[in-house]
Amino acid sequence: MDDKMDRTPASMGRFSYEGLDRVMHEKARLGILSSLAVNEGGLLFNDLKQLCSLTDGNLNRHLVVLSEAGLVESWKAQQGSRPHTMYRLSPGGRQRFTEYIGVLEGIVAKAQSRAQSKTTQQRSSEGWSTT
């Protein structure tokens, strides 16, 4: 294959990344899901807030979105005189997040491989001049 952009129908849309779920791809939600993925037993709201550097309102809104998508589950408990809410990935959420990470890893691997191979070639050999 030459270095020119492949414009065949099979290549069209190859960078649209259909496997990226918008619910998970948002920065704060990705942080929440990652935190919950490595803490399988779950995390208290305040711990999650600290780990992700989010405000109460921000974290709550993102948790609502993740819960509505079936990715996160929660339960409440009384500890002393204060109620606490614990969050964890739902079983389906853990599976979806694992699949999502696989898609991300594939994208990064392809981009990194291609970027590294391109750094050894000179643009001028393609008829372009450097500026």
pTM for the full predicted model = 0.75
SS3 72: strand
- What is the dihedral sign for C-alpha 9, 14, 19, 23? negative
Tokens of 111: 């981009």
- Structural domains in the chain, CATH included, are 20-120 (1.10.10.10)
Per-residue confidence in pLDDT tens, the chain, 131 aa:
444 555 555 565 666 677 778 899 899 999 999 999 999 999 999 999 999 999 999 999 999 999 999 999 999 988 888 899 999 999 999 999 999 999 999 889 988 887 777 655 545 556 666 66
Residue among 55, 49, 30, 128 nearest 87 (CA)? 49
CB 29 within 8 A of CB 65: yes
Rounded Cα distance between 86 and 47, Å, is: 9
pLDDT score recorded for residue 131: 61
How many Å apart are CA 72 and CA 56, to the nearest integer? 17
Per-residue pLDDT at 112: 85
Report the C-alpha gap between 94 and 37 in whole angstroms: 7
The CA distance from 10 to 67, in Å, is 36
